[in-house]
Amino acid sequence: MKRIVILISGRGSNMEAILNARLPVQIAAVISNEPTAKGLATAQSHNIPTAVVPHRAFTDRETFDAALAMEINRYQANLIVLAGFMRVLTEEFVVRYLGRMINIHPSLLPSFTGLHTHQRALEAGVRLHGCTVHFVTPGLDSGPIIAQAAVPVLADDTEDTLAGRVLAEEHRIYPQAIRWLCEGRVKLADDTVVYADVATARGTLISPAFDDHL
């Protein structure tokens, strides 16, 4: 059974979705850079080991990343899952786990990398928005894409309503992507995502919807 380590910084809603999915994996540990992260208590309630590597205790990103890697390696993880982990990782750290570390980002990458994605989507006037599961590479939010989910942007959407609709899709596609990876049905090869026995999506999402008579 594959072992995964989940990294969080806050409430850990994606982590909780992963736990609730009851995947055929062993969640070896949940690690946070924030001692007060609410997700730590959630993990503990599931009898999952937790650890804190507080980034403010380190003088630079390099020393923090070295300490984080040391903690991760204690659990002999096959896969590192970033679930709302709000730290930019150094290239050396990312390369260490290349092909074994994934992230979920609240936009349809490559659009809207970085922060405040929902507000930026509203300001840009896009009619479709969503979320992306991708391999982590040294470039910010630029790794090869594993899966995406799209939602319509509604005329009366606010940042909060749009974020809530996207988050619901995050909770669906992240556990599925982890399952594929741990079952060997998805892998990274030469910067390309390779699928085995993964169905091709059918159908089209159009926003706003076409009139019924067309």
33 Cβ contact partners less than 8 Å away, ≥ 6 residues apart = 7, 9, 52, 53, 54, 55, 64, 68, 85, 86, 87
Asked about 55 being catalytic, the answer comes back as: no
CB atoms within 10 A of CB 34: 19
- The answer to whether the CB of 153 falls within 8 A of the CB of 121 is yes
Which of the following is catalytic: 55, 105, 118, 171? 105
Strands 50-52 and 79-82: unpaired
Q: Coil, strand, or helix at residue 41?
A: helix
- The answer to whether the CB of 29 falls within 8 A of the CB of 94 is no
Cα end-to-end span (Å), the chain: 51
Q: Which two tokens stand for residue 76?
A: 């002999």
213 Cβ contact partners less than 8 Å away, ≥ 6 residues apart = none
Q: Considering only CA atoms, which of 130, 134, 131, 172 is closest in space to residue 20?
A: 172
Catalytic residues: 105
